[in-house]
Amino acid sequence: MMGLAQMLRVLRGRALLFTTIVLVVVTGVAVISFLSPKKYVAELALVVDLQGSDPMKEQALAPMLVPTHLSTQTEIIRSRNVALKVIEKMGLATNPEVVASFRDSGTDTDLNSWLVDNLLRNVDAKTARSSNIIRISYSSSDPVQSAAMTNAFADAYIQTSLELKVDPARRQVTWYEQQVSQLREELVAAQVRLSKYQSDHGVLGVDAARMDVENARLQEISNQLVSVQAQMFDANARSQQITSSEELDSLPDLMKNPTIQSLKSELARAETRFAEVSERYGVNHPQYIATNAEVAALKSKLNVEIGVTRGSLRQSAETARRQVGAVQKALEEQKDRIIALKRQQDELVVLTRDIESARTAYDAALAQANKTKLESRVDRTNVAILNPATPPLLPASPRIMLNLAVGLFAGIALAIGLILTLEVCNRRLRSAEDLADFTDLPVLAELPALPAAARRHRQREVRRQLKLQPGVAPAN
């Protein structure tokens, strides 16, 4: 393996070949650079607002989604849809020069597809790191055209982004209008059902106060029923006592009757007089007969009055029973009234809730429909042109100085590689170290460098002496 010193001696020994290769490569690169067509690249800067400050109050984009969003926007810029808008905006499909170039290309595709491929091949979009700026560039042989195409791509991208935002809203407007119309019909139908029910049953609405009044009336009738039932039980008991009891004197109703008590007092006095008269006179005596008739009359009156009292008690018991029946009937009617009222209120509540539900759905759909209509009318996006493209003053390619520098390094590398390859294929002795390494013989002495004429004579002699040794080439 060659060392660095040996490589330097090889290169010095083949300096002419080294120089020639380097000059040829650099000259070729220079010729190619000067003959290559110039390419001008115009650049435009777009700023994307990610804070959600648009008229529809969109939320700001999450920081982790910003790179994905910007990458998506660069893909949109390089999309076929944007390219077609550029073709239409610039009128490329009707440009005679473009049409002639298309025909000369001999491609099998249509004109628009050929133009799209060419435009997308020359356009580029990239994002700046840690920013929301997108840079659009377009390369062309004409600086004015490169700037015009760059601006056209920016305008087409803004239009496309607006369409991507507005078109879905426009498609949804029709659907929301249908839903709003249907929900409006459902709301009207629910209101009609409520009005019809109120008209059929004579109710105006759910009235909690009316229910309270009816419940209070029910409680009042219940209390009244308890009272008349107590009266009925008392009247029945008194009527049964005066009918079945033999000791009438002890009955409270008879004892409290002043007429009966008065008749009983008169009867007692009459009986006392009758006893006195019967002791004095015989049965045929007029006073005996009169006193006896008086006693009989008083007893008859007393029996009649007791009968009247019994009839009154029976009438009171019957009246009490009729009152209980009437109150019970009123109680049942009041219960039925409350149940019917509760049923009406429940039905009204259901119908009212149906209206509220239909109104809520209608209001929500109407609000969303109005919002969608506003979104469909939005005429601006969150993208703005920061720096428009201007015709570049210098071409972006070819870069002559850079190409010459690259050609120089490439020529040097090629020359070194070629010379080393030739040296390996045809090894020459260039120093005492080469002789010692090649022949494994010790070097006894090394003569100083000779003049050029003497050195050439020496080289000829060395060639003659060593030409028979295989694998050894004479030194230059």
In angstroms, what is the C-alpha Rg of the chain? 65
As a whole number of angstroms, the longest Cα–Cα distance in the chain is 220
What local confidence, expressed as pLDDT, does residue 252 receive? 58
d(CA 475, CA 469): 13
Q: How many CB atoms lie within 10 A of CB 360?
A: 12
48: β partners: 383
Reduce the DSSP state of residue 139 to 3 states and report it: strand
The yes-or-no verdict on residue 205 having pLDDT over 60 is no
What local confidence, expressed as pLDDT, does residue 475 receive? 47
The better pLDDT of the pair 72, 224 is held by 72
Q: 399-430 pLDDT, tens per residue?
A: 778 888 888 899 888 888 887 787 777 666 55
Judged by average pLDDT, the poorest of 98-102, 142-146, 376-380 is 376-380
For the entire predicted model, the pTM comes to 0.51
Judged by average pLDDT, the poorest of 131-135, 406-410, 458-462 is 458-462
Sheet holding 123-127, edge to edge: 123-127, 133-140, 40-48, 383-387
Mapped to the 3 state alphabet, what secondary structure does 400-459 carry?
Answer: HHHHHHHHHHHHHHHHHHHHHHHHHHCCECCCHHHHHHHHCCCCCCCCCCCCHHHHHHHH
Q: Which of 199-208, 231-240, 310-319, 448-457 has maximum average pLDDT?
A: 310-319
Q: 230-280 pLDDT, tens per residue?
A: 777 766 666 665 555 444 454 555 556 677 667 777 777 877 877 887 787
What local confidence, expressed as pLDDT, does residue 434 receive? 61
Distances in Å between the alpha carbon of 293 and those of 133, 270, 298, 299, 311? Answer: 139, 10, 9, 10, 26
Q: 50-73 pLDDT, tens per residue?
A: 765 555 555 555 667 778 888 888
What local confidence, expressed as pLDDT, does residue 155 receive? 92
